[in-house]
Structure 1
Amino acid sequence: MPRLEHHTLKRYESIWFGIAVVISLFLFVSVIVSFISGTYSAIGGGGGHHITGVTNGRLDPRNIAATPFAKPGLRENADGTLEAFVVAKAFAFDPPVLRVPAGRPVTIHVTSLDVMHGYEVEGTNINASVIPGQVASFTTTFGRPGSHGTICNEYCGTGHHNMLGRVVVEAPTPQAARPAGE
């Protein structure tokens, strides 16, 4: 194999440096054009959450009483949708056991009051980072009855290993029998 001379290496270095400069200029110009044309993402948007006390996905952890997180658990809205509110705090989930019906979509909202936590439901693809003052929301449907452990998968302090809970998926209750003719 022939040995590369100093002049040959300098030429390759110059070519790679030129490519890096062109890419950098392209990215810089793209960002400027994006801001001028108005196609950049809105950082200070107007909402995204319908939850009382939550603005732009954020809430004040010191004022949790003004939000639905003050009474965590599952609730059914007037339109029939299900929402669950979960609060992560040192070193527990509230509620420790979340009961949800099988076969119905449930939107789960999770927040933290103190430090960063994780919310993972074992045996599912539910895995969220829970940051103080922010609300992580996701909608899922549990297909069949059973019990799933919940764990904090972000180290949150000396009691981290005790931060366990459960999601209990219950069989749907049958609707009350309707009189004939209805």
Structure 2
Amino acid sequence: MERITIEVVKDGNIEQLRELCNELMAFQKSLATIAPEKFDEMNFDSRMKKSYESSLASHVIVVKDDGLPVGYVYSTVDKVENSKNSYPEWAPRDNMENSKGFYPEWENFPNKIGCLNNLYLRDQYRAMGLGSKLFDMSIEWLESFKDVDVVFIYISNGNDAALDFYLGRGFTFSHDVFGGFIKAVYKYKK
């Protein structure tokens, strides 16, 4: 931990985050109380890469220790055609019990939303304030879009620490996705 750097990925090189993204999916599986086997289908290619390629705008920030990636945050701006019973491009479409659409059934749901998709740090880097720094940088980027009024975060079931982290930063619980497999929280821009 001699030299920690935080870098915005500007060249599209998200491949450097493959291992960390796969670690995140394994971490989420280890905490899950609802359908942990579903995480076996989620990995860098099916989750992050697919989302990165289909979003209107993407923002990736990586934390490095002596040049090696040890954490990251990944955010997007996405277009939502029809919020009722629709899903982001990367989301699985299988039938989970009590499944509703991925988005809340608000009367006037916006057609463009911000989304903080992944925030992950390896264990030994979690008590250094880096998670808060990544979160703040991501929210600042998301709030820079004048036509995006609301930011969503989707938290895997069992990850109560992450849920508490986001609720403690002004986000509000919105709804369960896939019968509670994912918890959705949101916050309107300032």
Q: TM-score, normalised by structure 2?
A: 0.30
Greater share of helix: 2
Structure having the higher Rg: 1
Q: TM-score, normalised by structure 1?
A: 0.31
